[in-house]
Amino acid sequence: MENPFEEPPIRDALRGRTPYGAPQLDVPVRLNTNENPYPLPAAVAEAIEKTLHGLLRDVNRYPDRDALALREDLAAYLGHGLTSANMWAANGSNEIIQQLLQVFGGPGRTAMGFAPSYSMHTLIATATATGWYESYRNASFEVTAEHAKAQVRVYEPDVVFLASPNNPTGTALSLDVVEAVASECAGVVIVDEAYAEFARSGTESAVTLLPRFPRLVVTRTMSKAFAFAGVRVGYMAAHPRVVEAVQLVRLPYHLSSLTQAAARVALAHASTLLTQVEAIKEQRDRIVSRLRELGFKVAESDANFVLFGQFDDQTTVWQKLLDRGVLVRDVGIAGWLRVSAGTPDETDAFLSAMGELA
């Protein structure tokens, strides 16, 4: 009998789409998903193991629905006088973004971003039936305060996304851009700071603006700086009323007790984990200067990755790197590729392959 559900009756907005995701290829040097290249230090992994071991006896019970202890630790980590009432946590910052759009976006509402930027912002807008306006960055991948403000005035979006440092370009925004947008926008302004810990000195976090703008939200993740991508912990800092609003859409017990406990142990070891960040920044800066020496164009980066080009056809270069055992990311910007900063050995492999292609 013919299966009547061969073509599932999915929403028009999703029909014909493919799921998001970078190729997960088995190659020696994987520099395509902006992960932290270092495993958790042994002392941190052991402390997490010990905590989880004790906790496993209690997993017949649901976790703390409000993740209060974790939120207190996250507030202490960010500082700036934030408390647990300002914080919210979920399974990765992607889930935070989804919850924000479920509350502040949705049918009949719109969000906007400045391309090229993190494609999940657009995809989550589609998934939550939020309309999307795409504005653009200039040729240096920057956004000026005047441009951003003017675009917000034109589109009047319910939600504005500003990524800083931006993925895939690495570009950080100066706080005057965030201030200009937050002053102009009647809706919610989300500053996605997934890569904040990798910023060069002098780049300030939008967290410092929270007391002045009650509809400003700063999203962060433990996936990158804390080498915790596999655990899935993202969080946000915002006005307590925004945090309360997000709780209207969170699933009950969304963040497992194991995840909450593991994240708390990692936060207790923040200073150890952040020394890895310094090592990654060194490799990032090495990539930038060596690629420039080789004659390539490189976007300024405050993140753990570098956008480089300019190629007649970036797909050929992507393949040539893969042939040499190095996987980078073709983010779909004509002429450009993105590489994550790896360990010194991984970075050596990438740079020597690029030397052959120069």
Which residues ranging from 259 to 288 are in contact with ligand PLP (CB under 6 A)? none
* One residue of 34, 99, 260, 304 binding ligand PLP per CB under 6 A: 34
- When CB distances to ligand PLP are compared, the closest residue is 92
* One residue of 103, 148, 175, 194 binding ligand PLP per CB under 6 A: 194
Q: What angle do CA 277, 331, 126 make, to 5 degrees?
A: 100
Which residues ranging from 118 to 177 are in contact with ligand PLP (CB under 6 A)? 118, 163, 167
Euclidean distance between CA atoms 340 and 284, whole angstroms: 8
143/353 with CB nearer ligand PLP: 143
By CB under 6 A, residue 99 contacts ligand PLP? no
DSSP codes of every residue in 281-324: HHHHHHHHHHHHHTT-EE---SSSEEEEE--S-HHHHHHHHHHT
By CB under 6 A, residue 93 contacts ligand PLP? yes
Closest approach, Cβ 168 to ligand PLP, in A, equals 8
By CB under 6 A, residue 314 contacts ligand PLP? no
Closest approach, Cβ 130 to ligand PLP, in A, equals 17
Q: Which tokens belong to 97? A: 């973004």
By CB under 6 A, residue 234 contacts ligand PLP? yes
Task: Tell me which stretch binds ligand PLP (CB under 6 A): 90-98, 134-142, 172-180, 249-257.
Answer: 90-98
Tokens 């998903």, residue?
33
Euclidean distance between CA atoms 87 and 80, whole angstroms: 12
By CB under 6 A, residue 205 contacts ligand PLP? no
77/150 with CB nearer ligand PLP: 77
Which ranges in 185-238 belong to alpha helices (H)? none
Burial of 270 (0-12, 13-18, 19+ CB in 10 A): middle
Measured CA to CA in angstroms, residue 180 lies from 9, 186, 208 at distances of 43, 12, 15
287/303 with CB nearer ligand PLP: 303
Closest approach, Cβ 94 to ligand PLP, in A, equals 4
| Total of chain residues touching ligand PLP, rule CB under 6 A | 13
Q: Which residues pair with 307 in a beta bridge?
A: 338
Burial of 343 (0-12, 13-18, 19+ CB in 10 A): middle
Euclidean distance between CA atoms 23 and 318, whole angstroms: 12
By CB under 6 A, residue 102 contacts ligand PLP? no
190/261 with CB nearer ligand PLP: 190
Euclidean distance between CA atoms 20 and 14, whole angstroms: 12
Could you tell me if 121 and 134 are in contact, meaning their C-beta atoms sit under 8 angstroms apart? no
By CB under 6 A, residue 92 contacts ligand PLP? yes
By CB under 6 A, residue 32 contacts ligand PLP? no
Euclidean distance between CA atoms 264 and 192, whole angstroms: 22
Task: Tell me which stretch binds ligand PLP (CB under 6 A): 42-50, 86-94, 326-334, 345-353.
Answer: 86-94
Euclidean distance between CA atoms 259 and 86, whole angstroms: 20
* One residue of 102, 128, 169, 221 binding ligand PLP per CB under 6 A: 221
Closest approach, Cβ 55 to ligand PLP, in A, equals 22
192/353 with CB nearer ligand PLP: 192
Residues that bind ligand PLP (CB under 6 A): 34, 92-94, 118, 163, 167, 192, 194, 221, 223, 229, 234
